[in-house]
Structure 1
Amino acid sequence: MYGTIRIERNPSCKTKPGQEENLGFGRHFTDHMFIMDYEEGQGWHDPRIIPYGPLSHDPAAMVFHYGQAVFEGLKAFRTDKEDIVLFRPDQNAKRLNRSCERLSMPALDEEFVVHAIQSLVRLDAEWVPRKEGSSLYIRPFVMATEAGLGVRASSRYSFIIIMSPVGAYYEEGLQPVNILVEGHFARAVQGGTGNAKVAGNYAASLNAQAVAKENNCAQVLWLDAIEKKYLEEVGSMNVFFKINGEVVTPSLSGSILEGITRKSIIHLLNEWGIPVKEQKIAIDDIVAAYENGTLEEAFGTGTAAVVSPIGSLLWQGKSMVINQGNIGELVQRLYDTITDIQFGRTSDTHNWLVSC
């Protein structure tokens, strides 16, 4: 659709992190990146893979002033058979377009987005880690590049993909994390951009994240912006609770990002016959379940952390320790199932994997 991807190989490839090196998250970057441009009247054009390096943009580029920027996140995994696979990339391409639509940005051909990701991963295949639990994080993003200070949608954009070998998102690994329930700041509101993966959503979360860190919490659990009553999502994850044998998660209200891992988890729970509901969940309901002993497990889900057990919720100065701070049986089963599929340790009966 956009022509053949032109490839310019990097003549000065970097030294790749060693197997024993602590990769962290988003600290190292591969040798190449993908770029494609858009101009009104011409559409998307000139798809290319070039050496990874700085971008040069006019200081008046609209992305700097009016925040037209959206992104995605997915991973490439190296299986035990040395195959390299992606987990549900078609869903990321669909969500990228939904985000673009929300910010009045031009849509991309979704099959081409997956093709571009596959092409870049194949070229930098040696960057896909072999270390247990590690993967290659892939960050596609779209930003406005037209120079101009009038408040309107840009007429020019760039679609870029960069990649980074990563270890566990949380330094603790699969260990229960402490979460601060945020009662003051707001992340998003219905009718806003909360259900799109917009860069500004994350900028709006940084103050609360700093408060969470001061309280020895890894992330923030947001409440709705209007009533400050209903749970929405954790900063980088959707959230689930197991209460009296039933799993509940906040319904997609228009201010919550529709997570791809979230969708996969719901599919698995339904397949296993475990009751799961998408509904409005008040923080008072969680407090009541904690106090009467029916709050059995809590966890977050997302591309970066996959499944992350919640060990405690800090709300109004009170810490609610869940499952005695231990990893729950359901959390462990979900984590093992998803990661076994991703790393090829079990059959992909859902056709969620795409080869590179």
Structure 2
Amino acid sequence: MTVDLRQAPKVLLHDHLDGGLRPQTLVELADGIGHALPATEPGALATWFVESAESGSLERYLETFAHTVAVLQTEEALERVAAEAVLDLAADGVVHAEVRYAPELCTGGGLALEAVVEAVQAGFARGVREAAAQGATTSVGTLLCAMRQADNHMAAARLAVRYRDAGVVGFDIAGPEAGFPPSRQKDAFDLLRAELVPFTVHAGEAAGLDSVADALSVGTLRLGHGVRVADDVVAADAPGGAPTLGRLAAWVRDRRVPLEASPTSNVQTGAATSIAAHPATLLKDLGFAVTVNTDNRLVSGTSTTQEMTLLREQAGWSDADLALASVAAAEAAFLPLPEREALVLRVRDGWAALT
């Protein structure tokens, strides 16, 4: 029996708040501040985002965020978008999500960084309550991002430390990968390690093995995307033989460093040529800790269920593969051990009940 993927309990580790707005919400918020959008009908706007993202370039992909960030400059807008994100994820069967965003991008209207964080946290809390009222039990942790091309990483890291007991579970750096290695923000990562705040790093998406190695050198616990680690896997030299892993790939596999793969987004940005040929399949087969994520639900026109469906239909993933990826995501969540163990059990039992 084929699993109904929407009903399966899923854990989402890599989802950007400013990349997942509802099209109707974006239209309404933009109209309220007089921001011109490329389309004002929600369906047409959603299509524009996906078509714009399918450029094969991470830099052009990121340009779409000019419109979403423009409307996220007030506490009211931030709280609304955060609450709606939780509701949308819960409706898709996500039982735990780690949603990330860069507070520094939401201060153009005069908000202090602290006000941004508190508004988003209020929205997540409201979304969790409203989802529960609708019969869906879900939880959300926040990852605060610093933009790697800017110089605000210490402020973002300090925010992660300040709000680590108020729903912020970790830190990340985002933005253009090439030319902006994680070691450029080494002081922020040093602070986070000293304060025992976990972090993940965007690496191995637009840039290759050097990016992955640099992320590991600053102590990342997970790799945001990370799929370019497949560049360190050499195909078997004889039919039926096993591929050979280079030292970097072996390190990532052997230490179970989780890969936050986002299939549709990876194809859009050029990190993968297609879903059918996505490196996540090879890496999964070789024993890497591969997880399945959305990256940006609006920009990629996707959901966690959709990503899993594409892997099943186009890359040959079995339901057992998808269940293992879901368990791997639960095991990698930035949660205290008792909560993580309970999440793993919920995910494992939930998938088992559907098969």
* TM-score range normalised by the length of the shorter chain: under 0.3
Report the structure number with the largest CA radius of gyration: 1
Q: TM-score, structure 2 length as denominator?
A: 0.27
Q: TM-score, structure 1 length as denominator?
A: 0.27
Q: Which has the higher helix share?
A: 2
Q: Which has the higher strand share?
A: 1
